[in-house]
Structure 1
Amino acid sequence: ITEFPEYYGYFAMEEYDYDGRSPANRFNRNPVLGTGLGADGLKTGHTEETGYSLVGSAVQDERRLIFAFTGLESAAARRREAEAMIVWGLRQFAIKEVASKGDVIGEIPVWMGSQSSINAVASDDLRMPFPTVGQGSVTTRIEYLSPLDAPIAEGAPVAELVVSIPSIPVRRFTLVSDRESTRGGFVPRVRAASTLLFDMAIGQVRSLME
């Protein structure tokens, strides 16, 4: 779908002829093509061991659903299951925007840099599927190695935004630096080292007091 989009349209053709193929086999066996559900692929299958199967795909309102199943007892059962999965998948989830391109998600300290910190921003519009019902609690966190080592180029990947929603896979989005931070001169580096040593000393004192 993404690597060879120029060929993907063949999967949506309901009928086609080509040399060496029996005329009786010119029809696409995908049972959900032409049903009005937005199906445009992909591949049916059948063996005695695994029964009837389908790797399917459908798109509605810029939302694409890709699914696969096997083990059905008949072609009719395969059709019913495919239709049910498309209806369920596209009705139970809605694409929502997590952040817009350039939104500041967090601030990250920079070690030995001309800037003491940089902002981690969304590299693009960040979107993902959310359940339409029973969404539950949504949690987000930023993951990065702190502090970041200078130099850091503007637009360089510096962190990941992790979004967790019950019952669906965790999504990770790359965050990038909103500015350049070159390696600092002598004074900024001495200041940064002093700050780090001070923070380490405070941490040790707190550990002894606990």
Structure 2
Amino acid sequence: MFSMLLAGAELCIKLLAGCYCKLLMWCDLKAMKKIRQVYWLLLLQVFIGVAGARADEWAGAPGIAAQAWILMDADSGAVLTEGNADRPVEPASLVKIMTSYLLGQALKSGALLAADKVHVGTEAWAAGNPVLQGSSLMFLKRGDQVSVAELNKGMVVASGNDACIALANYLAGSQDGFVTLMNETAQVLGLSNTTFKTVHGLAAAGQVSSARDMAVLSRALIHDLPEEYALFKERAFTFNGVHQYNRNRLLWSTSLEVDGLKTGNSQEGGFSLVASAVSGNRRLIAVVMGADSDHARFQETEKLLKWGLRAFETAMPIKAHEAFIEKRAWFGAARTVRLNAGERPAITVPYGKADAVKISAILNEPYLRAPLRKGQVVGVVNFQLDALTIAQKPLVVMETVEQAGWFSRLWDAVLLKLQQWLGVCVACAV
């Protein structure tokens, strides 16, 4: 099977290369640059498709009984296995992950404080809002003055729909305003198969998400807002004498170290679960959507997490704050510039294969020309295993390099022209 995939990939690459060469014959310089970018993007997609198939073949991914699922390495972002991961499914209470993300960002920025008192209106009172009756509640009462911190716990731990409404009204002025923020944030995060209609996840026409989008959102929450994410591992919450347990039963697992995230279920969307587990310095995120029963969602999610932790490992052959290579910075105030693989250089490899990974870098342009800005992407870093590209990361400038003075730039122009004519590194001897 894999040899057939490789043959298909080779044919795709040859076709792309042929088209690429013919297009360059007919285009000006600007068009050439654009075509080069598109070519490398298409080539990357071919590599990623083959790499994903090889990973599953190496490790024997389990079958999952659900409408959709995905398993992601939280550090590298690598997808270890998936099924119908982009299928739109009603997310139910998984919506609260986005509500939590927005609240966490507001707390982080100082836009609101954990100690702020929120007035509970009729909308957040189950007796006054028929939509809330029979659903998960924190059991707020109209006229209560409740802190943001308590409402946050009520939303995350007790899955309180009333807490979501109270927080949304306080933060955005209305539920509609908060939903607008949710959808704008979804676009920023690249959640291409997600549309939010409510702040809590109760059934609403057109409200959908996908397993991939939920994994991406959860990864952002874990990475960007560790203090907010810490609430998801709390097993119980008490408010006004009502004691409730977290619905994520994997938090009590004796075979996995699970510390989040969220359950959801509805008539149309079935039973869903987003869960994250850690082992040493590794973290995986599993999403199962549309299982047939409450038991099945936990069983299938546990199956994914155990398989991923056993079959793969997270490696960091390039350190986040160390240079991978140095290149000449033409026309720059500094002679060279340090480059690495960005802030998230981790990759995922089959267990025991980390030492066999080979690394190479490809520049977008033959020469780096100042000014160069810190964080600027100037190429790609390829990670290969058994001659197969298993991951690619951006090749990133580590520090800003300003342009040199006019005389130095003139001298570099002469050296560069000589190097292009002679085909040797003239600058290396200067």
Q: CA RMSD for the aligned pairs?
A: 3.6
Which residue is 2:325 aligned to? 106
What is the TM-score when the length of structure 1 is the normalising length? 0.72
The answer to whether residue 313 in structure 2 is matched with residue 90 in structure 1 is no
What is the aligned counterpart of 1:9 among 203, 218, 230?
230
Which residue is 1:208 aligned to? none
The answer to whether residue 277 in structure 2 is matched with residue 65 in structure 1 is no
The answer to whether residue 417 in structure 2 is matched with residue 197 in structure 1 is yes
Partner amino acid, structure 2, of 1:11:
F
- Which structure has more relative contact order (CA 8 Å, sep 6+)? It is 2
The answer to whether residue 250 in structure 2 is matched with residue 32 in structure 1 is yes
Deviations 1:162-194 (A, max 9, x none): 2345899734255335795650452x3333222
What is the rounded CA distance, in whole Å, between the counterparts of 1:161 and 1:86 in structure 2? Answer: 30
Deviations 1:85-126 (A, max 9, x none): 111111122122212366543332322234554343566794
Distance 1:51-1:106 versus aligned 2 partners, 3 A rule: same
Instruction: Write the mapping of 1:1-210 to structure 2, written as runs, cut at 5 A.
Output: 1-19=222-240, 26-36=244-254, 37-100=256-319, 103-121=322-340, 126-132=345-351, 140-152=360-372, 157=376, 159-164=378-383, 170-177=391-398, 182-186=403-407, 188-201=408-421
Partner amino acid, structure 2, of 1:198:
L
Gaps of 5+ in 1: 204-210
What is the rounded CA distance, in whole Å, between the counterparts of 1:163 and 1:200 in structure 2? Answer: 26
Contact kept? 2:341, 2:393, Cα under 8 Å: no
Give the aligned length.
198
What is the rounded CA distance, in whole Å, between the counterparts of 2:339 and 2:320 in structure 1? Answer: 11
Distance 1:75-1:169 versus aligned 2 partners, 3 A rule: farther
- Measure how far apart 1:39 and its partner are: 0.6
What is the rounded CA distance, in whole Å, between the counterparts of 1:197 and 1:145 in structure 2? Answer: 15
The secondary structure found in structure 1 opposite 2:236 is coil
Contact kept? 2:315, 2:349, Cα under 8 Å: yes
The secondary structure found in structure 2 opposite 1:79 is helix
Which residue is 1:207 aligned to? none
What is the rounded CA distance, in whole Å, between the counterparts of 1:39 and 1:106 in structure 2? Answer: 38
Query: Is 83-92 or 121-130 further displaced after alignment?
Result: 121-130
Distance 1:131-1:104 versus aligned 2 partners, 3 A rule: same
Query: Is 191-200 or 70-79 further displaced after alignment?
Result: 191-200
Contact kept? 1:102, 1:122, Cα under 8 Å: no
Contact kept? 2:315, 2:346, Cα under 8 Å: yes
What is the rounded CA distance, in whole Å, between the counterparts of 1:2 and 1:9 in structure 2? Answer: 11
Contact kept? 1:120, 1:158, Cα under 8 Å: no
Contact kept? 1:106, 1:119, Cα under 8 Å: yes
Partner amino acid, structure 1, of 2:273:
L
- Measure how far apart 1:47 and its partner are: 1.4
Moved over 6 A (4+): 122-125, 133-137, 166-169
Gaps of 5+ in 2: 1-221, 424-430
The secondary structure found in structure 2 opposite 1:2 is helix
What is the rounded CA distance, in whole Å, between the counterparts of 2:251 and 2:296 in structure 1? Answer: 15
The secondary structure found in structure 1 opposite 2:228 is helix
Larger helix percent: 2
What is the rounded CA distance, in whole Å, between the counterparts of 1:202 and 1:79 in structure 2? Answer: 65
What is the rounded CA distance, in whole Å, between the counterparts of 2:389 and 2:238 in structure 1? Answer: 41
Distance 1:75-1:116 versus aligned 2 partners, 3 A rule: same
What is the rounded CA distance, in whole Å, between the counterparts of 2:223 and 2:400 in structure 1? Answer: 31
Larger strand percent: 1
What is the rounded CA distance, in whole Å, between the counterparts of 1:20 and 1:3 in structure 2? Answer: 33
Distance 1:60-1:160 versus aligned 2 partners, 3 A rule: farther
Distance 1:122-1:102 versus aligned 2 partners, 3 A rule: farther
Distance 1:145-1:34 versus aligned 2 partners, 3 A rule: same
Partner amino acid, structure 2, of 1:27:
Y
What is the TM-score when the length of structure 2 is the normalising length? 0.39
Contact kept? 1:56, 1:68, Cα under 8 Å: yes
